Chains A and B, each alone.
Chain A
Amino acid sequence: MNRKVYIRASSQISVQEPLCEEWMEHPKQLSGPSVRCIDPDYKQFFSPMQARRMGLMFKRAMVTSRKVLETSGISCPDAIITGTALGCIGNTESFLDPMCREGESGLSPTAFMQSTHNTIGSMVAIALGCHGYNCTYSQDGVSFESALLDAVMQLETGEAGNALVGAHDEITDNVARLREVIEPEGYPFTEGSVAMMLVSGGRPDDALCEVADVRILSRPDVALEAIKEYGADYVMRNDVTFSLFGRCGPASGLAVHAAANMIAAGRYSSVLVVNESGSNAGLVFLKKV
């Protein structure tokens, strides 16, 4: 018999007001080809020595992760699982640009070292001294669902008692420009970070909601059929998700964050977050505790 899995805490930094949910009453309207995150003042979170080597995306990942750890009273999670569509694209460009323009000498080892997709998840683990399970998924728009599914599989068997699940992406001027040309129709291209603490077993009074199911369907016809199966109180699709958070890798994770808070506030008894991303679709079904 599988254990139930809950979202115990969730935190976001996005194009909406960071680290809070007040914005949900009157979300900011997005316009323009691309919009950047609203960042808190990171000086309150990091000393200069800590902040070095931490571009904005890493800072967002650390702060959102720390918030949910604090809220759930867990200092070292059993698992740290991360999703990122573009990885550390800023550092990638910092290495790639001079390589392509100036040649192959004098390239920064720091930029390369911090350009692999797993830098985010391992940075969090190093900061926490956490030796537990650690994995990173990069499947464009369903990177978050991949990380969430991995966590759910370990939690439902009790292999892990809790898991820090995060989705993080940043946008650069170059990426914004390229995407605007390739996919001009739609909401602005954005960036964002979301971190959640998932726990399993029991019936925690302080959880936001239950994660009843998560699937990734890579055949669109199947995905659309599947929606009906859930009989959700509210189906949250990309048009709503993108209107709130823009088009970014962690959009579905941010949608789950919003949905979890809506369920906790008693607005809905269940929400199905449907995320269509190219040939893949993510479904996350949340229920009230």
Chain B
Amino acid sequence: MATGVVITGAGIVSAIGVGKDETLRSLLARKSGLPGGEVALSDLQLKRILDIPGEETVARTSLLGMVAVKEALEQAGITGTDDAALISGTTVGGMDITEKHYLEMLEGGRPDYFRHHTCGSSTDRIAGYFGGFAMVTTTSTACSSAANSIIFGANLIRSGRFDVVVAGGSECLTRYHTNGFDSLMILDKEPCRPFDASRAGLNLGEGAGFVVLESESHALARGCRLLGRLEGWGNACDAFHQTASSPDGEGAFLAMSKALEMAGLRPADIDYINAHGTGTVNNDESESKAMSRLFGGCVPPVSSTKSFTGHTTSASGGIETVICLLAMEYGFIPANLGWKEPSEGCITPEAEGRSKVFLQHVLCNSFAFGGNDSSLLISNTRDHE
């Protein structure tokens, strides 16, 4: 019998709040963090909260990650990380420092700034803040990084290598990738409108989302509250194009199917899908096709919370997993803000959201450039009332 993987802690920071409480209030009040998508704290303010000297050079990705990991560990009641693993997901790493000091690094006698550049170094910095972990690594699959961190973490537990894994992702806004997405002409100057007929692109956001994954036996022995159960996951490659999703959504379809299969559930068992739903013409259509293929005429309620947080790229899988946990705990479906008109080839999302719903099983999708598609199936630890 495979070891059950449960979630005992969650931490989140994004444009709609620092911490779960503020995030929940924003979701329920339909208060978007767009335009902007920024976390409303400067680097200096983040350092103050974390008790890090202001003059110390720390990548913003690391700072955001520390805030979310801290909240997750505190909720899980874990004080020592010596025996735990930390799996983060990021693509920009310390690029905020690199791009700010690029010329200085190369020509101004400050090569030391390069120490902060890599993805790995940004995760090491997070780990160091907590006094170190038994094992540290970083996934980097663009927009599905955090989801893949969670999958890798779940495998570490299922294989018996670890009892506790902190997994998720962190990404700060940088000029680099803002200009990058702009060069691909997929940014919308207006707030994004996932699945809407007039959708014209995505809005970037930043943040971090981490969960404490634990083996069920270890969590029960500690007597801590279970926030959810990670019952299934799927990772598949669209293998179509570096920046476009296939018309038939093959990667997305396979990822969601694998998650269902692993959980031993049928499509009809899913109560809500937190879609990748970036608001680009291509993603939303491709993802809708994948959902139609899997769910037939009975697609469950769907919403994209990127209409609240913006597309937080590498952090999105972690942030959206935490949002799903909040949705399950407080019995609501987050709104799909900005949606007004159905689009041919697209599903019709829960534009207004829903309250007083019991969500037993939820799918959380993260699809990335290069076709790195991942889907997490999270289940409620309470039974249907």
A residues lining the B interface (CB < 8 Å):
80, 84-87, 95-97, 99-101, 104, 107-109, 112-119, 121-123, 125-126, 128-140, 142-143, 146, 150, 153-154, 156-157, 174-175, 177-179, 181-182, 215-219, 222, 278-280
Measured between beta carbons, the chain A residues less than 8 angstroms from B49 are none
Bound-state CA distance A97–B102 (Å) is: 8
Measured between beta carbons, the chain B residues less than 8 angstroms from A112 are 177, 179-181, 183-184
Whether B237 pairs with A136 at a CB distance below 8 angstroms is no
Bound-state CA distance A222–B124 (Å) is: 17
Bound-state CA distance A109–B187 (Å) is: 13
- Pick the residue among B82, B103, B105, B179 that contacts A101 (CB under 8 A): B103
Measured between beta carbons, the chain B residues less than 8 angstroms from A182 are 111-112, 114-115
Q: Verify if B138 is at the interface (C-beta below 8 Å from A).
A: yes
Chain B 123-157, CB-CB to A under 8 Å as 1, else 0, gives 11001100011111111111000001001100110
Segment at the interface with A among B65-73, B203-211, B272-280, B367-375: B367-375
Whether A116 pairs with B114 at a CB distance below 8 angstroms is no
Measured between beta carbons, the chain B residues less than 8 angstroms from A119 are 242, 370
| Best-buried of A116, A119, A139, A143 by chain B (most CB within 10 Å) | A116
Measured between beta carbons, the chain A residues less than 8 angstroms from B127 are 218, 279
Bound-state CA distance A251–B121 (Å) is: 18
- Pick the residue among B161, B235, B236, B240 that contacts A126 (CB under 8 A): B240
Whether A80 pairs with B237 at a CB distance below 8 angstroms is yes
The residue in chain B whose Cβ has the minimal distance to the Cβ of A142 is B137
Contacts A85-B118, A140-B118, A140-B121 given; indicate if A116 touches B370 (C-beta within 8 A): yes
Q: Verify if B241 is at the interface (C-beta below 8 Å from A).
A: yes
Whether B155 pairs with A219 at a CB distance below 8 angstroms is no
Whether B114 pairs with A131 at a CB distance below 8 angstroms is no
Whether A117 pairs with B119 at a CB distance below 8 angstroms is yes
Chain B 251-267, CB-CB to A under 8 Å as 1, else 0, gives 10010000000000000
Q: Verify if B321 is at the interface (C-beta below 8 Å from A).
A: no
Measured between beta carbons, the chain A residues less than 8 angstroms from B236 are 131-134
- Pick the residue among A104, A118, A150 that contacts B370 (CB under 8 A): A118
Measured between beta carbons, the chain A residues less than 8 angstroms from B112 are 182
Q: For window 162-209 of chain B, which residues contact chain A by CB distance below 8 Å? A: 175-177, 179-185
Question: 28 A-B pairs, CB-CB below 8 angstroms?
Answer: A87-B140, A95-B179, A109-B183, A112-B180, A116-B91, A117-B141, A118-B368, A122-B239, A123-B242, A125-B237, A131-B238, A131-B251, A134-B141, A134-B236, A134-B372, A135-B235, A138-B93, A138-B138, A139-B137, A143-B120, A146-B138, A150-B152, A153-B155, A153-B161, A154-B155, A175-B114, A179-B114, A280-B124
Bound-state CA distance A137–B184 (Å) is: 25
Bound-state CA distance A177–B181 (Å) is: 29
Question: Told that A157-B159, A216-B135 touch, could you supply 7 new A-B pairs with CB distance under 8 A?
Answer: A87-B140, A112-B181, A116-B369, A122-B242, A131-B251, A135-B141, A139-B138
Q: How far is the CB of A113 from chain B (nearest CB, A)?
A: 5
Contacts A99-B176, A126-B241, A138-B138 given; indicate if A108 touches B371 (C-beta within 8 A): no
Whether A217 pairs with B242 at a CB distance below 8 angstroms is no
Contacts A218-B127, A279-B124 given; indicate if A125 touches B184 (C-beta within 8 A): no
Contacts A122-B237, A129-B239 given; indicate if A137 touches B137 (C-beta within 8 A): yes
Q: Verify if B98 is at the interface (C-beta below 8 Å from A).
A: yes
The residue in chain A whose Cβ has the minimal distance to the Cβ of B119 is A138
Whether A146 pairs with B183 at a CB distance below 8 angstroms is no
Whether B111 pairs with A181 at a CB distance below 8 angstroms is yes
| Best-buried of A87, A125, A136 by chain B (most CB within 10 Å) | A136
Contacts A140-B121, A143-B120 given; indicate if A95 touches B180 (C-beta within 8 A): yes
Whether B183 pairs with A107 at a CB distance below 8 angstroms is yes
Whether A219 pairs with B118 at a CB distance below 8 angstroms is no
Whether A218 pairs with B136 at a CB distance below 8 angstroms is yes
- Pick the residue among B98, B111, B180 that contacts A177 (CB under 8 A): B111
| Best-buried of A112, A157, A179 by chain B (most CB within 10 Å) | A112
The residue in chain B whose Cβ has the minimal distance to the Cβ of A183 is B115
The residue in chain A whose Cβ has the minimal distance to the Cβ of B155 is A153
Q: For window 361-382 of chain B, which residues contact chain A by CB distance below 8 Å? A: 368-372
Bound-state CA distance A130–B372 (Å) is: 11
- Pick the residue among A101, A115, A140, A156 that contacts B180 (CB under 8 A): A115
Whether A135 pairs with B152 at a CB distance below 8 angstroms is yes
Measured between beta carbons, the chain A residues less than 8 angstroms from B179 are 95, 99, 104, 107, 112
Contacts A107-B179, A112-B183, A279-B124 given; indicate if A130 touches B137 (C-beta within 8 A): no
Q: Verify if B216 is at the interface (C-beta below 8 Å from A).
A: no
Measured between beta carbons, the chain A residues less than 8 angstroms from B155 are 150, 153-154
Bound-state CA distance A96–B322 (Å) is: 33
Whether A135 pairs with B135 at a CB distance below 8 angstroms is no
Q: How far is the CB of A229 from chain B (nearest CB, A)?
A: 15
In the complex, the 4 A-B pairs of residues with the closest C-beta atoms, listed nearest first: A122-B370, A112-B180, A140-B120, A117-B140
- Pick the residue among B98, B156, B183, B371 that contacts A134 (CB under 8 A): B371
Measured between beta carbons, the chain A residues less than 8 angstroms from B115 are 182
The residue in chain A whose Cβ has the minimal distance to the Cβ of B178 is A104
Q: How far is the CB of B121 from chain A (nearest CB, A)?
A: 7
Bound-state CA distance A107–B177 (Å) is: 11
Measured between beta carbons, the chain A residues less than 8 angstroms from B284 are none
Measured between beta carbons, the chain B residues less than 8 angstroms from A131 are 236-239, 250-251, 254
Q: Verify if B99 is at the interface (C-beta below 8 Å from A).
A: yes
Bound-state CA distance A129–B98 (Å) is: 35
Bound-state CA distance A216–B132 (Å) is: 13
Measured between beta carbons, the chain B residues less than 8 angstroms from A86 are 118
Q: Verify if B41 is at the interface (C-beta below 8 Å from A).
A: no
Whether B240 pairs with A118 at a CB distance below 8 angstroms is no
- Pick the residue among B111, B118, B148, B237 that contacts A132 (CB under 8 A): B237
Bound-state CA distance A218–B125 (Å) is: 12
Q: How far is the CB of A109 from chain B (nearest CB, A)?
A: 4
Bound-state CA distance A237–B273 (Å) is: 48
